[in-house]
A and B are shown apart, each in its own frame.
Chain A
Amino acid sequence: DVKVTQSSRYLVKRTGEKVFLECVQDMDHENMFWYRQDPGLGLRLIYFSYDVKMKEKGDIPEGYSVSREKKERFSLILESASTNQTSMYLCASSFQKLTDTQYFGPGTRLTVL
């Protein structure tokens, strides 16, 4: 059974804080993704990684960075949190075949005050 876990379900941070969100998958997937989900806007891709130490910008990378030092772990970093980064953050992973689906973690609801 595929398992994608995220470090926190709920997180409250203050403006300007550095925030780390961690994601771990146990299926040996090559690809890992970070999305944010906001009402009416759907899932928006922040960053993805197709291999260890490799990363690519998604559609909304500004204000975020990522780290993938091990295949199973993908971290999202908010360098200086702002209120407009209050959102639901979803991590996902997949194999690289075109037909392969993405498996999502439970999500982290981040509130920046």
Chain B
Amino acid sequence: QKEVEQNSGPLSVPEGAIASLNCTYSDRGSQSFFWYRQYSGKSPELIMSIYSNGDKEDGRFTAQLNKASQYVSLLIRDSQPSDSATYLCAVKAGGFKTIFGAGTRLFVKA
């Protein structure tokens, strides 16, 4: 069974701090990696995708991928209360299916 594991949290950080969200996956053949944000009562929306080892930055968000360690992370700099949400890690190994983690709840305290 291919798995994507995340710490369920909640992760609580003060406003302006860096939030670090982590994800591990079991399928070494995984090739595409995504971070989705899901606000309470809403559907997931894509915030970052990453396909090769290293860092990818987009505004306050940085995705980090280490395929050797089977590890993906998302850093949120200058965290804002509006970043409070559940963050889903998703992994695609080929074929049609994407495997989602159960999500990490993030609270940013004003």
Interfacial residues, chain A to chain B (CB-CB below 8 A): 31, 35, 40-43, 45, 48, 50, 56, 58, 90, 96, 98-99, 101-107
- The number of A-B residue pairs with CB atoms under 8 Å apart is 44
CB distance from B26 to the nearest CB of A (A): 15
Q: Which of B24-81 contact A (CB under 8 A)?
A: 31-32, 34, 42-46, 49, 51
CB distance from B23 to the nearest CB of A (A): 12
Main secondary structure of the interface of A (DSSP, over half): loop
Residue of B nearest to A50 (CB): B96
Interface pairs A-B: 3 shortest CB-CB: A42-B102, A104-B43, A43-B100
| B10 nearest CB across to chain A (Å) | 13
* Known A-B contacts A42-B103, A98-B32; A104 and B96 likewise in contact (beta carbons under 8 Å): no
Selected from B31, B34, B43, B88, the residue in CB contact (under 8 A) with A42 is: B88
The residues of B that contact A58 with a CB separation of less than 8 Å are: 97
Chain B residues within 8 Å of A, Cβ to Cβ: 8, 31-32, 34, 42-46, 49, 51, 88, 90, 92, 94, 96-98, 100-103
A69 to B: closest C-beta gap in Å: 19
Q: What are 23 A-B interface contacts by the 8 Å CB criterion?
A: A40-B102, A41-B102, A42-B88, A42-B100, A42-B101, A42-B102, A42-B103, A43-B88, A43-B100, A48-B96, A48-B97, A50-B96, A58-B97, A96-B96, A98-B31, A98-B92, A99-B32, A101-B34, A103-B46, A104-B43, A104-B45, A106-B42, A106-B43
